[in-house]
A = this chain, B = another copy of it.
Amino acid sequence: MKESLILEIQDKISINDMEILKVLLKDLYAADIAELIDELSKDEIKVLIPIIPVDKLAYSLAELDFDDKHTILNLLAPKELKIILDNMYADDIADLLGPLSIGKSKELLKLMKKEDAEQIQNLLGYDEDSAGGIMTTEYIAIKEGKTVRDALNIIRDIAREAEMIYYIYVVSQTKELMGVLSMRELITASPEARIKDLIQKKVINVRLDLDQEEVARIISKYDLLAVPVVNHKKQLLGIITVDDIIDVIEEEATEDIYKMAATTEVDFDDENNTIVKASLKRSPWLIVLLFASILSGSVIDVFSDLLNTVVALALFMPTLAGTGGNAGTQSLAIVVRGLATGDLNTKDLREHLFNEVKVGSLVATICGLIIGLVALVWQGNYMLGVVVGLAMFCNILSATFVGTTTPFILNYLGIDPAVAAGPFITTVIDASGLFIYFSLARLFLPYLT
C-alpha cells in the first residue's frame, strides 16, 4: 500500500470528507485496510470505522495487533460486533479473544450462536503454539456414502463459511477421519461416482498437541494447502491452512534470530511498549552475559603478572577472542538452522562434527598463520608470532567443537538450540580462548622477553 494513499486518507479524515473516503476505501483489500489502521491514530480510526464494509473489517481485524484490535472492539456497538464475529473464522476469533480479559471475552461470546461460542471456547483451551491452537473449525467434511453430486451440493451450501474448500475430508459416523479428496479430483469425477471409491485413504494429518513448528514442516514438505487435525481417537477436529503456516514460519525464524541475538520479541506497534518494559526485556540476558564475561576478566587476573611482563600480549587479546567467537558462531549458526529446517538430526552429530573439525582445522591453520605473521611484523618478536599463531589455531579448533556440539546437546535435551547462539557461545569462547593464549604464553615466556 502506497505511503501517499495513507497520507491522502489521513488528510480526508482530518477534513471529515466521508464521500471521498468511501471511494478510497472501496478499492482496498482487507489486508490493506489492516495496514492502514495500523498507521492511523485512535481518533482517525474512530472516524473511519463506520464506513469500512463489515466483511472487510472482520477480515482485517484478524491481521491487526492487540492494541488496534482493542481500540476497534471498543468502538463497535454489540449489534455491529455480532455481524463482525459472524464474518470471522473461528481461529481468528480465538486469537482475538485469547488475550482479552475473561469478562470481555464472555461478553463477546454471548453475542455468538451457542454452538459457535462453544467451538471458540474449545479452541481457546489449546496451547497457542500447538496444532489445536492454530487450527480452525470451518472445514468441509462429508460422510463416506455420498456421491460426487451430493458432495458438490454440500460444498455449494457451505462454501461461503468454510475457510478452505479445496480439500474435502471424509469422516465416519463417529467423526473419525477416513480419507481426503481434493476439489481437483471432485470436479473431474463423474457426478454419479461414489465418494468412497475416490478418496485417498492415507491422509497426512497432525495430532492436536503437535508443535506448530512441526505442523509447518509437514505442510511445507508435502506442499499442502491445509492439513487436518485429529485427536487420539483419530476424530477430525479442525484444519490448519497454509496461510497461517506462513505466519508460523516467519514467527519461528524471527524467534530464532532474536534468540541468536540474546533478545526477545518486540512489538513495533504496541504503544504500551514503554521504555521500561522494553529495557526489562533486554537487560536480563545482557546482565547474565555480563557476569559470564567476568570469567574472562578472571582469566586475565590469574595471568596478570604475565601481562605485566609482556604488555604486547594484550594487543592480540581482542583478535584472538573475536576470531574464535566468529568461527564458533559460524559453526553454531549452521547447526541451529539445520536443526530448525530439519536438514540435520541428532543422529547426524558425529558425521557433521567430523566434517566441521576438518574444516575448522584448515580455517584455524590459515588464521593462525596470518595472525602469527602480523604479530611478527608488528612487534618484531618471532616467538610472540609463534605463541599468537598457535593460540589462534587452538582457539578456532575448540570454538568449532563447542559451536557444533552445543546446539546438538541442547536439542537433545529439548532446549531450543538458538538460545545458545551468538552471544553465549562468544562469551564462553572468549574465556577459554584467553586461557589457552596465556597458558601458551607462560610456556614460552623464557623466549618471549
Contact = CB atoms under 8 A, between A and B. Distances in A.
Interface of A: 3, 27, 29, 31, 35, 152, 155-156, 159-160, 165-166, 183-184, 187-188, 202, 204, 219-225, 242-243, 245-247, 249-250, 253-254, 256-258, 260-263, 266, 268, 275-276, 278-279, 282-283, 285-287, 289-290, 293-294, 296-298, 300-301, 304, 307-308, 311-312, 314-319, 321-323, 325-327, 329-330, 332-334, 336-338, 341, 343-344, 347-348, 352, 355, 358-359, 362-363, 366-367, 370-371, 374, 421-423, 426-427, 430-431, 434
10 contacts: A220-B243, A223-B243, A257-B337, A261-B330, A263-B330, A268-B348, A276-B362, A293-B318, A304-B315, A325-B423
A239 to B, nearest CB: 14
- Chain A contact residues: helix, strand, loop or mixed: helix
Given A311-B307, A329-B262, A242 B246 contact: yes
A279 B188 contact: no
Given A317-B317, A321-B321, 4 more contacts: A31-B223, A220-B246, A293-B322, A318-B434
A278 B187 contact: no
Contacts of A268: 338, 343-344, 348, 352
Most buried by B among A261, A283, A374, A422: A261
A153 to B, nearest CB: 10
A73 to B, nearest CB: 22
Contacts of A327: 282, 286
A16 to B, nearest CB: 26
Quick one: copies of this chain in the complex? 2
A211 to B, nearest CB: 17
Nearest to A155: B187
Contact of A287 (B250, B261, B282, B370): B370
Closest 7 CB pairs of A and B: A261-B333, A296-B318, A253-B253, A223-B243, A297-B315, A293-B322, A263-B330
B426 A279 contact: no
A374 to B, nearest CB: 7
A289 B322 contact: yes
Contacts of A282: 327, 330, 359, 363
Nearest to A245: B246
Contacts of A293: 318-319, 322-323
A362 B278 CA distance: 10
Contacts of A221: 31, 35
